[in-house]
Chain A
Amino acid sequence: MTVSGRESRAGLLFLLPWVIGFLAFTAGPMLFSLWLSLTHYDMLKPPAFVGLENYREALADDRVGTALWNTVFFTALHVPSQIVLALGLASLLRRAGRGSGFFRTVLYLPVMTPPVALAAMFLLLLNGQHGAVNGFLGWFGFQGPNWTTDPVWIKPGLVVMSLWTVGSTAVLYLAALTRVPVERYEAARLDGASPWRQFRHVTLPGISGTVYFTVVVNTIASLQVFTEAYAMFFGARAKQSAEGDAALFYVIHLFQEAFGSLRMGYASALAWGLFAVIAVITAVQVRLSRRYVHYEGDRS
């Protein structure tokens, strides 16, 4: 096919909705936000230019420090546990044979639950005195913590809760596992490789591209964690106490500054701060991936 003017025009016409949307809802807002971050703007008076004042304030703001620490801590717990559990579940499901469809449904259904409903459920399931999670731990003689009120345990509690929705990652891994050629396992077995060595030298290299992808995407999402924690501990439920501080994630802080205090300029500066943090972490992951991720020659 040749590149004709007519074809160019037709192609660009099809792209037009996206181009308009990109300018109106992505590129335009980003420039707008960059400028806003240099102003004080409360939606009543016009924005007043203040230079880097908002960024200076953010660096000195204790709550930003708390929010950033909470977010990074949560991400550091959430992403690895999510990936290890998903990998374990996917390996298990692959051995289920004809029953795997049923178990896939069991794993995926929690993903369909609206996060607010999830928050309501887990406020009770994780309750320190009466919750089923601590009831279960009690069977084994453990005294479970106060997941929803003890500042030390709130973030681990949110991680436990997030494990219930691990199904979508597990389903993605299951698909990746079935793409690893069976002959490689047969060859490994002929060489007398143990199950662990098979996993280490056949499975992991075979799916490392998918694992890497989920690490990057999960990290970006996790650094923006908002809904469940907000539903459980903020809004009219916010108490002026340590509970709230322990669950104060970065986007929650941003949301409160923007839509609670109407500090649009400051919130914009916070948004760019998060953008920078995410960009740095993603860049590090990309660099590390060059060393550890094994791409197949036959990628589709």
Chain B
Amino acid sequence: MKRVGVWAALAVVTLAFGYPFWWLVSASLKDRAHVFDNALLPRPFSPGNYVEVWQAVPLLTWIGNSVAVGLAAAAAATVTSALVAFGFAMFRFPGRDLLFGVVLATMMLPAAVTMVPVYLEWHALGLATTQIPLWAQNLFGSAFYIFLLRQFFLGLPREVFDAAKVDGASAWRLFTSMALPLAKPGLIVVFVFELKAAWTDLVKPLIYLRDPQLYTLPRGLKAVLDRFDEGGEEQWELVLAASVVATVPMVLLFLVAQRHFVRGTVTQHVE
């Protein structure tokens, strides 16, 4: 009897959390007169929305930009955060714990505090309207990923490293030929997390990108949402088709890398 209750509750949860996705895909295939009708199946069936939005805005360019920025952000964050995390996990030196405390403190620092001055820095460098500010900061490591990868490195068997050290292996060799391969699951976690973060971010593209040819998908989607508002009549079916295009890659990424997302989420909090 109790199990029936649990399964009924789970069914309700599945419907509640699954419905908006179903609704989104269905509505993106409806014509303008029916986009509001909440019917489960699109009738009349209008797949032409996707062609129309494709022709109205440079969707392919935006996808390309998002892929480029996402991969650059993810690769940069993974490599440098691993370097820094290895430094914190494997070496002892004066001030190390104090510095790591600073890393943790920056995780709590509101991003809004550095938004203006960092923009002015990129402006001074003449790069404020390029895509570079969207990913280049990751070249210096990112606090949460440093924390996460340090956990991974600390979990590796210490004796192996000590033995290699006795054999005269350099620190760099320890890092590249032992630590990195062993920490691969952690590196994947960082890569997929940052790929998702960069792919979905609107704040930085809003601050930095001016030229629509440089827009990432979320910035482009915001432009679509704004543009079709101006004429008075909103072309919701096109907005929703573009929303599907922006969302599907993330759904696929999750289905492929589910384990890693869950692992990263859970590692957020280790007392």
Chain A interface residues (CB < 8 Å from chain B)? 1, 3, 7-8, 10-15, 17-22, 24-26, 28-30, 32-33, 36, 43, 89, 92-93, 95-96, 99, 103-110, 112-117, 119-121, 124-125, 127, 130, 132, 135, 164, 167-168, 171-172, 175-176, 209-210, 213-214, 217, 220, 223-224, 226-227, 230-231, 235-237, 250-251, 254-255, 258-259, 264, 267-268, 271-272, 274-275, 278, 282, 295-296, 299-300
In the bound complex, CA of A116 to CA of B246 (Å): 9
Q: Which of A92, A108, A254, A268 contacts B261 (CB 8 A)?
A: A108
Q: Quick check: A103 and B229 within 8 Å, CB to CB?
A: no
Contacts of B246 in A (CB 8 A): 114, 116-117
Q: Quick check: B90 and A11 within 8 Å, CB to CB?
A: yes
Q: Quick check: A117 and B243 within 8 Å, CB to CB?
A: yes
Specify the main secondary structure of chain B where it touches its partner.
helix
> Can you pick out 7 interface pairs between chain A and chain B where the beta carbons lie within 8 Å of each other?
A3-B94, A17-B140, A25-B118, A26-B109, A121-B20, A224-B112, A274-B110
Chain B interface residues (CB < 8 Å from chain A)? 6, 9-10, 13-14, 17-21, 23-24, 27, 35-38, 80, 83-84, 86-88, 90-94, 96, 99, 102-103, 106, 108-121, 123, 137, 139-141, 146, 162, 171, 175, 196, 199-200, 202-203, 206-207, 217-218, 221-222, 225-227, 229-230, 236, 239-240, 243-244, 246-247, 250-251, 253-255, 258, 261-262, 265-266, 268-271
Q: Quick check: A112 and B196 within 8 Å, CB to CB?
A: yes
Q: Quick check: A109 and B17 within 8 Å, CB to CB?
A: yes
Q: Which residue of B lies closest to A101 (CB)?
A: B258
In the bound complex, CA of A224 to CA of B229 (Å): 26
Q: Quick check: B247 and A113 within 8 Å, CB to CB?
A: yes
In the bound complex, CA of A259 to CA of B37 (Å): 38
A107 with B141: in contact, given A117-B243, A236-B229 (CB under 8 Å)?
A: no
Q: Quick check: A114 and B27 within 8 Å, CB to CB?
A: no
Contacts of A271 in B (CB 8 A): 110, 112-113, 115-116
Q: Which of B19, B108, B244, B251 contacts A282 (CB 8 A)?
A: B108
Q: Quick check: A12 and B113 within 8 Å, CB to CB?
A: no
Contacts of B108 in A (CB 8 A): 220, 282
